[in-house]
Amino acid sequence: MSEENNNSEVGGIAADRLRSLIERIERLEEEKAALGSDIRDIYAEAKSAGFDVKIMRAIIKLRKMNAADRDEQEFLLETYKKALDI
């Protein structure tokens, strides 16, 4: 048997399939890391332009929290309605 191929069964598991899945995940994680890097670059750019990074992060967090809060309110309303058979 060749060494690289046909390792479909190693120790009772589908090795090729496993390898494929893991490589897909690793690829996506690389892209994700790249985006993280892009984001860092923008913060650096902002800092160079004289903005306060900490404040920027706080603003972004706040915008996210407001959205989450709104969603939660809607969810709560829906759940109440459901609970009360409205």
Partner DNA sequence: CTGCCATTTTACCGGC
Partner DNA sequence: GCCGGTAAAATGGCAG
53 binds, among a copy of itself, DNA, none (CB under 5 to 8 A by kind): DNA
Q: Which one among 14, 18, 44, 67 touches DNA, defined by CB under 7 A?
A: 44
CA distances, 82 to each of 68, 75, 79 (Å): 21, 10, 5
39 token code pair = 């984001």
Of 40, 38, 43, 64, give the one whose Cα is nearest residue 53. 43
Residue 53 sits in the site that holds DNA (CB under 7 A): yes
Cα 24 from Cα 9, distance rounded (Å): 20
Provide the binding-site residues for a copy of itself, judged by CB under 8 A: 7, 10-15, 17-19, 21-22, 24-26, 28-29, 31-32, 35-36, 38-39, 42-43, 45-46, 49, 51-52, 54-56, 58-63, 65-66, 68-69, 72-73, 75-77, 79-84, 86
